[in-house]
């Protein structure tokens, strides 16, 4: 969460594929001007108390995000990348709506609804490192020169489900 501390006062964040919770530490959102949440279920988004705005949309039907280019300082997607049928289109849209120098953060676990996950993900459910490489490819096949400082880290708790984080910065 150190990236939150480096964000300018009045920052804007977009939580893609969100639900009733955005998983942001409340104390770090104190400087946020805008917390936009995006997801499939209106009732769940309405229950998200961190949100300042909500948008219902199925990215598999339409990956085009409704926000202007260069709008957000940070985009996040937690525990949903495995359901995207056209992840490259979605990652291109993340790039478009991020401000130059903005961060995209993708968090995933081995937990998934197998019947809803895309085949490449569902075939190797427990391959965390393989999924990291796959997500890195989604970034790398984005706009030419579009992403930099691609990183990944295993942020798994000592006891519990394995969790990985993959991040990239939009090139200035």
Q: What is the CA radius of gyration of the chain?
A: 15
Q: What is the pLDDT of residues 122-167, one digit of tens each?
A: 777 667 788 888 899 999 988 877 999 999 998 888 888 889 899 9
pLDDT for the residue numbered 35 = 96
- Supply the mean pLDDT for the chain: 89
pLDDT tens per residue across span 28-58 = 888 899 999 999 999 999 999 999 999 999 9
56-67: per-residue pLDDT in tens? Answer: 999 999 999 999
Greater confidence, 2 or 61? 61
Cα angle at 11 between 171 and 1, to 5 degrees? 80
- The strand pairing partners of 56, in sequence order, are 39
Give one DSSP letter per residue of 16-73, joined into a string: ET--S-----GGGGGGEEEEEEEES-HHHHHT-TT-SEEEE--TTT----SSPTT-EE
pTM over 0.75: yes
């Amino acid at each position: 969460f150190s990236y939150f501390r480096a964000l300018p006062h009045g920052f804007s964040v977009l939580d893609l594929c969100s639900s009733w919770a955005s998983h942001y530490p409340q104390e770090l959102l104190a400087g946020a001007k805008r917390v936009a949440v995006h997801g499939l279920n209106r009732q769940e988004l309405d229950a998200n108390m961190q949100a300042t705005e909500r948008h219902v949309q199925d990215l598999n039907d339409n990956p085009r995000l409704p926000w202007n280019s260069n709008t957000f300082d940070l985009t996040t997607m937690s525990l949903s990348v495995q359901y995207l049928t056209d992840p490259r289109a979605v990652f291109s849209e993340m790039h478009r709506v991020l401000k130059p120098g903005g961060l995209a953060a993708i968090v995933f676990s081995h937990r998934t609804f197998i019947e809803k996950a895309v085949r490449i993900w569902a075939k190797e459910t427990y391959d965390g490192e393989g999924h990291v490489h796959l997500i890195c490819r989604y970034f790398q096949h984005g706009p030419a020169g579009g992403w930099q400082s691609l990183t990944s880290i295993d942020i798994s708790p000592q006891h519990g489900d394995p969790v990985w984080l993959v991040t990239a910065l939009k090139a200035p």
